[in-house]
Amino acid sequence: TALAYVGAALAEIAGCVSVWSWLRLDKSPWYLVPGMVSLALFAYLLTLVDSEAEQDMEAHFGAHLF
């Protein structure tokens, strides 16, 4: 579960940076290709996490946000 979360976090960051680079740094639209792959990997990795563990993690982080 921890590895899935770490992998998902890294994939999410990579995908978001890719889209951000394209929009804000005027990079080539080809920057979107690895970004889309990263975001798809992010979504897939989250499906590997048990739903109870996900609820615990959401409760933990939600408590820190408020």
Model pLDDT for residues 5-59, shown as the tens digit of each residue:
899 999 999 999 999 999 999 999 999 999 999 999 999 998 888 777 666 666 6
- C-alpha dihedral (19, 20, 25, 29), degrees to nearest 10: 10
d(CA 56, CA 16): 25
